[in-house]
Amino acid sequence: MSPTTYILAINCGSSSIKAKLYKVGSAKRQPLTAVAEGSVKGIGAKGQKIKIKLEWLDGSGDNVSEEGELGDKGLVGGTRSGTIDPTLVFHLVKECAEDAGLDGIKVTRAEATLNKKSGLTALAGTNDFNSITTKMLDPSSHAEDDAKASTLAYKVYTDRLLCYLTFYLSKLFETEGVDGIDGLVFSGGIGEKSVFLRKDIGKRLGWMGFEVDDKLNDQASAGKEVAVKINAASSKIPIWVVQTDEEEVCAKMVQECFDL
């Protein structure tokens, strides 16, 4: 079994098991509608029938379909842990119920650790996914420790991502079959911008019939279209890159909530 399967993205602070467990993170609690609405708008504009499984990948730690109600459940984020044993924080964070001392908000040290000091930031020292992949792909141009940390962060991230994707897809295959799945959507900060990640995930899901067109994939991140197809003609399932506008959706939600 690959070590990335059991390495956790948790900030262990001064814990004696820091070298074994590694580190954790945060997320703006973004509603599902932010990505769902953008995806439906964009792909709908292309004349597609909408029935899509969403996967929101955002460097700031935002993710949607795998998140559930709690921001720390699911995929490793930019600064948050993703799913971990909930009791683990009591062993890693001293006086975890004490106030974290953050300006303008009262949260415990445990919550601050899981939401603000973990994820990619804890593993690689940054939540900049482009920086992480650059150091991983060109280790000779960077400090050895940075390159190793970035490689670890990427492997942990993709390990969790593939776990969720294959879980969702297996459920859809069971009820819908391949023909019932209208597409895989990459969105948010990482999904929209990381050409390498999209190509890598497409390749790893090749056994399921996914295939990314390299040229379309390269062009997608630079384009201004809301939704762009990046799958090869031979791909059994469409693959999309969809731009999001969380701010607009949040503004609309506020309008509806306060009847403005």
Residue pair 120/132 in contact (Cβ under 8 Å)? The answer is: yes
Q: Which two tokens stand for residue 130?
A: 């482009």
Range of the domain at 28: 3-258
Tell me how many domains the chain contains: 1
Give the residue with greater pLDDT, 133 vs 52: 133
Residue pair 113/89 in contact (Cβ under 8 Å)? The answer is: yes
Report the CATH number that the domain containing residue 104 is assigned in CATH. 3.30.420.40
Question: In the chain, pLDDT over 90 holds for what percent of residues?
Answer: 37
Q: Does residue 72 carry a pLDDT above 60?
A: no
d(CA 166, CA 249): 29
Q: Does residue 23 carry a pLDDT above 60?
A: no
Q: Does residue 55 carry a pLDDT above 60?
A: no
Q: Which of 24-38, 70-84, 227-241 has the lowest mean pLDDT?
A: 24-38
Give the residue with greater pLDDT, 116 vs 41: 116
Q: State the pTM of this model.
A: 0.70
Residue pair 61/156 in contact (Cβ under 8 Å)? The answer is: no
Q: Does residue 30 carry a pLDDT above 80?
A: no
Q: Does residue 149 carry a pLDDT above 60?
A: yes
Residue 175 confidence (pLDDT) = 86
Mean per-residue pLDDT over the chain, rounded:
76
Q: Does residue 220 carry a pLDDT above 80?
A: yes
Q: Does residue 58 carry a pLDDT above 70?
A: no
Tens-digit pLDDT profile for residues 229-248: 999 999 999 999 998 888 88
Residue pair 240/43 in contact (Cβ under 8 Å)? The answer is: yes
| Planar angle of CA 130, 8, 127, nearest 5 degrees | 20
Query: Which is it for the CA torsion 84, 89, 90, 91, positive or negative?
Result: positive
φ, ψ for residue 228 (rounded to 5)?
A: -130, 130
Q: Does residue 196 carry a pLDDT above 90?
A: yes
Residue 71 confidence (pLDDT) = 43
Residue pair 129/188 in contact (Cβ under 8 Å)? The answer is: no
Q: Which of 36-40, 76-80, 121-125, 164-168 has the lowest mean pLDDT?
A: 36-40
